[in-house]
Amino acid sequence: MRMVRWIAIAVVAALIGVFGFSFVRNPDLPAASHAEAVGFVLANPISSNEWQGLACTHRRAVIDLVAMTIAPKLCGAKSDGGAMARAKAFSSKGLGSCWTLFEVLRKRANERYHPYLNNAQARDKSVEDYCNRAEALIKKSG
């Protein structure tokens, strides 16, 4: 019984540590974003991509760029407002962890919204909200 308790304490301490690391890297984000980042790592703990993405200091910008790049296919936007070019700058300017995070989040967004891409299925409320946010970001950027 003692061993189980120590293992549980170690697991909780590790989770708090990962959450704290995420917070230190991006203190301006809400707690839910940090919890989601920890969830990404827990969902695939042996993937170096998730761990590298956790180290990105520009998580909010990456999340916004993902929304902007998927907007043309998902929302029917005319362009992505240059989001893909800005995202590619992460890989060329030495911010590999942010490029990795961008790729992971873009892949997950494509999987999540696959039924709605190119108007294959009618959009629901969550997709409408995502599109409104993405379109506002595109308008703001350009």
3 state SS for the chain: CHHHHHHHHHHHHHHHHHHHHHHHHCCCCCHHHHHHHHHHHHHCCCCHHHHHHHCCCCHHHHHHHHHHHHHHHHHCCCCCCCHHHHHHHHHHCCCHHHHHHHHHHHHHHHHHCHHHHHHCCCCCHHHHHHHHHHHHHHHHHC
Greatest extent of the chain over all pairs of C-alpha atoms, in Å: 60
pLDDT of residue 79: 85
The pTM score is: 0.70
SS (H, E, C) 1-40: CHHHHHHHHHHHHHHHHHHHHHHHHCCCCCHHHHHHHHHH
pLDDT of residue 69: 92
Mean pLDDT by 10 residues, the chain (142 residues): 84 80 76 73 67 72 89 85 86 75 86 82 85 89 73
pLDDT of residue 47: 65
Q: Round to whole Å and give the CA distance between 59 and 57.
A: 6
pLDDT of residue 5: 85
